[in-house]
Structure 1
Amino acid sequence: MDAIHLEDLAFYAYHGVYDEEARLGQRFHVDLTCWLDLKAASTSDAYGDTVCYGSLAKAVEQTVTTTRFNLIERLAGAVAETLFGADERIQKVRVRIHKPGAPLPIPAGRVSVEILRNRPGIT
């Protein structure tokens, strides 16, 4: 199956379990892959035969910045749901949420969560 990738989309949002995260917010980075059949677009060169990655980026921005979750796992799930709602041609998604400012009990490190989902009803 073919894929569209969007990487390092950056958003400022207010996700996290701690009061400070809800009050101060922080930067989140999102990588995503959407699997779909791009055969028509690869032969026709017609815009209507593909999924607009700009629209995908705006849909993800809306989800990340207008809702609040305690867990980035839930945020990743919400982004996957958004992607399936954005275009019915998307059959499978991978969403990785990076939380560079995650509160860790050590002086350095990075945190991310990745989920892989098939469109509901597809195995």
Structure 2
Amino acid sequence: MIMDKIIMKEMSFYGYHGVLQQERDLGQTFVVDVELGLDLRVAGESDDPEMTVSYADVYEVVRRVVTGRPCNLIEAVAERIADRLLDGFLLREVLVRVKKPGAPVPGHFGYMGVEIKRSRETMEEN
């Protein structure tokens, strides 16, 4: 089975997710990567934009989740993104990475984050 990907990296949004009240009050930047698994052969052969997924539409879904209703955990943010992408587009699977560069943890680091991979099959099982 062919599994092509559309990859969108380093989408940056300001949101109010976190366990700490300070995170909920002040907010912070979240950086999201998505990999959309689907067959791109028809789109590639036909050069028809209708045969693929609109990057702008995917970006808007991610933006709405990250800037929308706060979650305690970035795990929940990632699940919301994955659910909405699988619901809204003809994808076989999606990989979502949510990064928190300003996580309130002492020490020096690039970011802390989560990565989940969900498929249409796992979505239908739940």
1:75-100 residue CA offsets vs partner (Å, 9 max, x unmatched) = 1001101111221x211010000000
Letter in 2 for 1:121: E
Which residue identity lines up with residue 54 of structure 1 in the other structure?
A
Q: 1:6 aligns with which of 8, 24, 37?
A: 8
Aligned amino acid, residue 105 of structure 1: P
**Number of residue pairs matched by the alignment:** 120
- Partner residue of 1:30 out of 9, 29, 32: 32
> What is the TM-score of this pair, normalised by structure 2?
0.92
Question: What's the counterpart of residue 83 of structure 2?
Answer: 81
> Does the 8 A contact of 2:6 with 2:35 survive in 1?
yes
User: Gaps spanning 5+ residues in structure 1: where?
Assistant: none
Give CA deviations for 1:8-45 in whole Å, capped at 9, x if unaligned.
Answer: 00000000000000000000000000100111101000
State the secondary structure of the residue aligned to 1:30: strand
Give the alignment's Cα RMSD to 1 decimal.
Answer: 1.1
Q: TM-score, normalised by structure 1?
A: 0.94
Q: Structure 2: how far apart are the matches of 1:79 and 1:19?
A: 23
Distance 1:39 1:121 in 2: 25
> What percentage of aligned pairs have identical amino acids?
41
Return the alpha-carbon distance in structure 2 between the equivalents of residues 98 and 78 of structure 1.
15
Give runs of aligned pairs for residues 13-92 of structure 1, distance below 5 A. 13-87=15-89, 89-92=90-93
Letter aligned with residue 45 of structure 1 = D
Letter in structure 2 aligned against 1:111: M
SS in 1 for 2:19: coil
Alpha-carbon distance in 2 for matches of 1:117, 1:68 = 21
Question: Which consecutive residues of structure 2, in runs of 5 or more, have no partner in the other structure?
Answer: none
State whether residues 86 and 119 of structure 2, in contact with CA within 8 Å, keep that contact through their aligned partners in structure 1.
no
Question: What is the CA–CA distance in structure 2 between the aligned matches of 1:58 and 1:36, rounded to whole Å?
Answer: 19
> For 1:86 and 1:60, how far apart are their aligned partners in 2?
12
Determine the C-alpha separation between the residues in 2 that align with 1:76 and 1:70: 12
Is residue 124 of structure 2 the alignment partner of residue 121 of structure 1?
yes
Once the 2 structures are TM-superposed, how far is the Cα of residue 121 of structure 1 from its aligned partner? 3.1
